[in-house]
Structure formats: structure tokens, C-alpha cells
Amino acid sequence: KNQVEQSPQSLIILEGKNCTLQCNYTVSPFSNLRWYKQDTGRGPVSLTIMTFSENTKSNGRYTATLDADTKQSSLHITASQLSDSASYICVVSDRGSTLGRLYFGRGTQLTVWP
Amino acid sequence: EADIYQTPRYLVIGTGKKITLECSQTMGHDKMYWYQQDPGMELHLIHYSYGVNSTEKGDLSSESTVSRIRTEHFPLTLESARPSHTSQYLCASSAGPFTEAFFGQGTRLTVV
């Protein structure tokens, strides 16, 4: 069964600190892995998208890693800001259909305190 | 910022009413999607479209219907709303099946 599991479910950190969010998946055949940021009551916004051959991709203070062999990904946030408070969703796309079906994790709810 | 728009942002209606949630994109994307999301839960695909005159049901069974008469427009309709339809509805589009998906801001629907 194709699944995406994220941990931790929630996380509280102080402003300026770093944090790492985890994503494990069983989606096969794999096409790409995406990290989205979703503010409360808003639609998800893409942070990174990585294919099988990419190990690391950065977007400002966000750095995503991918280990396609172990089917794990992480999202590292550096020097957190209050505006980083949001849900971070790991999404994996399969290439087994013409739709390129997306499988969503439940997200990690990050809260940054001043 | 993505050029995909949903209206209304919030909607509170009574049971039995017919409603249409609007979704429009100006990126010329062929593929469009509707997702349903409950608080703290993952997004579930309820409808998708490959292009004009193409609509398919998604993974999560839904009593809603969709239409795709124009590339840029993908409305979702509930003929008779019920409290079980209370949820957030997210519209998305992409240029291709394996490319980035852009999401609208969502419609928070409450049926009382």
C-alpha cells in the first residue's frame, strides 16, 4: 500500500533555532518527492521538488534531502522565524499511472515561539 | 505566487442547499484537481481532470460533481449539502502529471 508517514506530528521550537522534519514513504514506482508549506486555512505552497537522482535541494533557509534507497526524506529549516509556523507536508508522486498520483502525509505542525 | 483562485474562501450554508465552489487558473494547465482536507488530516483526491471535457473521480468517494468546459475553470458542485460535507476543499493544477502542482487558497465549507 502506498503511504507517506511524517514525524514528528508536531514540533515547537524557539525563534532562531534549527529543526529537521522527517518523511518515510512506501510509494512505488517513485517519481518525485515534494515538500509543501501550508499556513492555517490556506492552500499548500511548494518548497522543493526532488526526483530520484537528486539527494539535496535548497530553497533559502529550507534544505530537503532524499535517500531513494531507504525511501526517506528530511526537511531542514535553518534559523527559524515566526513566519515558519505552519504545517509542512511531504508529498510523493508515483509514475505508475498517467495521472502521476500524489500521496500526502498528514504533515508536521511546526510552531515557532519568540 | 501561483495564479489559481478559489471562491468563496468561506461558506456557511444550510442542509439541502445546492452550492458551487469555483476554481480558476490562468497558467494554461491541462490538469486540475479537487482535494478534500479535514483538520490535521492528509489531503484526499476527490476529482481530477486531464483537460477540457475530461473528469474523473478520485480516491475518496464524494457526492460532489465537477465539470471542465474551459481549460481555466473547474467548478465543484454539491446538489444537496449535508453536515458531513463540512470540510476544506482545495483546488490544484499542474502542467503535467509529474510536475509541480499549484494550489488555491481553499474553500472552508460549513454545512449547518
C-alpha cell at B74: 473547474
Asked if A54 reaches chain B (Cβ–Cβ under 8 Å), the answer is no
Report how far residue A109's alpha carbon sits from residue A87's, in angstroms, rounded to the nearest whole number. Answer: 4
Q: Taking CB atoms and an 8 Å cutoff, what residues of chain A touch B47?
A: none
* pLDDT value for B1: 57
**Is residue B108 over pLDDT 90?**
yes
Beta-bridge partner residues of A21? A75
Distance from CA of A21 to the nearest CA of B (A): 16
Distance from CA of A18 to the nearest CA of B (A): 23
- The mean pLDDT value for A28-39 works out to 93
**Is residue B56 over pLDDT 60?**
yes
What confidence tens digit (pLDDT) does each residue in A54-95 have?
999 999 999 999 999 999 999 999 999 999 999 999 999 988
Residue A101: pLDDT band by 50, 70, 90 thresholds?
confident
* pLDDT value for B53: 95
The residue with greater pLDDT, A112 or A101, is A112
Interface probe for B, chosen from A23, A32, A104, A109 (most Cβ of B below 10 Å), is: A104
What is the three-class DSSP state of A43? coil
User: At residue B53, what are phi and psi to the nearest 5 degrees?
Assistant: 65, 15
Number of neighbouring beta carbons within 10 Å of residue A58: 13
Interface probe for A, chosen from B27, B35, B42 (most Cβ of A below 10 Å), is: B42
Distance from CA of A14 to the nearest CA of B (A): 22
Report how far residue A110's alpha carbon sits from residue A81's, in angstroms, rounded to the nearest whole number. Answer: 11
Report how far residue B98's alpha carbon sits from residue A76's, in angstroms, rounded to the nearest whole number. Answer: 24
- The mean pLDDT value for B16-35 works out to 96
State how far the alpha carbon of B5 is from the alpha carbons of A77, A114, B75, in Å: 29, 33, 11
The one-character DSSP state at B100 is P
User: How far apart, in Å, do the first and last CA atoms of chain A sit?
Assistant: 41
Interchain contact, A106 vs B90, CB within 8 Å = no
* pLDDT value for A95: 82
Counting one residue from A and one from B, how many pairs have CB atoms under 8 Å apart? 56
Interchain contact, A102 vs B45, CB within 8 Å = yes
Region at A82 (left for phi over 0; alpha for psi -120 to 50; beta for the rest): alpha
Give the closest of A34, A43, A46 to B90, CB-based.
A43
Interchain contact, B98 vs A105, CB within 8 Å = no
User: At residue A74, what are phi and psi to the nearest 5 degrees?
Assistant: -135, 155
- The mean pLDDT value for B60-87 works out to 94
Range B39-53 burial, b when 16+ CB lie within 10 A, else e: eeebbbbbbbbeeee
Asked if B90 reaches chain A (Cβ–Cβ under 8 Å), the answer is yes
What is the three-class DSSP state of B76? strand
Mean pLDDT taken over chain A: 94
Of chain A, the percentage scoring pLDDT greater than 70 comes to 97
Residue A2: pLDDT band by 50, 70, 90 thresholds?
confident
